[in-house]
């Protein structure tokens, strides 16, 4: 059997969105991403510096071809997008920041059995976003 090639980790997530300007504002102004590239009015590529979040305008008409947001049964395949922070306290700092920004997290910060700490929130179109501290990764990046 062939040896599995190495992976370097998650590089990007691409979301089909209904309201591109609203989603861009949320990820830039609330979560702190910056625009890396905006090739046209239907696509924007954001980054936090080590990754890429692509936002693509969902086709408007029922007969247009293009990207799908879900499988044929209407089930959304995306569970959540994970954003890593450098410390446990960073999760709590995000909770306070989000509250001040008028964003209600889906859950309060909690510590997991493996020592990770996280909270969940929803972006303006209902995609779950996890802000988390994960010791093996966070400690290496901090």
User: Which pLDDT tens digit goes with each residue over 54-67?
Assistant: 999 988 765 444 44
Per-residue confidence (pLDDT) for residue 110, from 0 to 100: 96
Domain layout of the chain by residue ranges? 8-58, 79-142
Report pLDDT for 77. Answer: 65
| DSSP three-state, residue 77 | coil
Low-confidence ranges of the chain (pLDDT < 70): 5, 7-9, 61-77, 142
- Look up the CATH number of domain 8-58: 3.10.180.10
Helix or strand (DSSP H, E) at 140: helix 135-141
For the domain 79-142, what is the CATH code? 3.10.180.10
Hey, do 8-58 and 79-142 end up sharing a CATH topology, with the first three levels equal? yes
Maximal C-alpha separation, the chain: 54
Distance of alpha carbon 24 from alpha carbon 8, whole angstroms: 27
């Amino acid at each position: 059997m062939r040896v599995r090639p190495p992976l370097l980790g998650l590089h990007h997530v691409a979301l089909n969105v209904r309201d591109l300007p609203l989603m861009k504002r949320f990820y830039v102004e609330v979560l702190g991403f910056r625009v890396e590239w905006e090739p046209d009015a239907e696509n924007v590529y954001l980054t936090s510096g080590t990754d890429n979040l692509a936002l693509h305008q969902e086709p408007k008409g029922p007969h247009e071809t293009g990207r799908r947001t879900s499988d044929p049964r209407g089930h959304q395949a995306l569970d959540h997008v994970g954003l890593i922070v450098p410390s446990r306290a960073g999760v709590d700092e995000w909770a306070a920041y989000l509250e001040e920004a008028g964003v209600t997290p889906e859950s309060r910060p909690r510590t997991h059995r493996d020592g990770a700490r996280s909270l969940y929130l929803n972006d303006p179109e209902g995609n779950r976003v996890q802000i988390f501290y994960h010791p093996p990764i966070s400690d290496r990046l901090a």
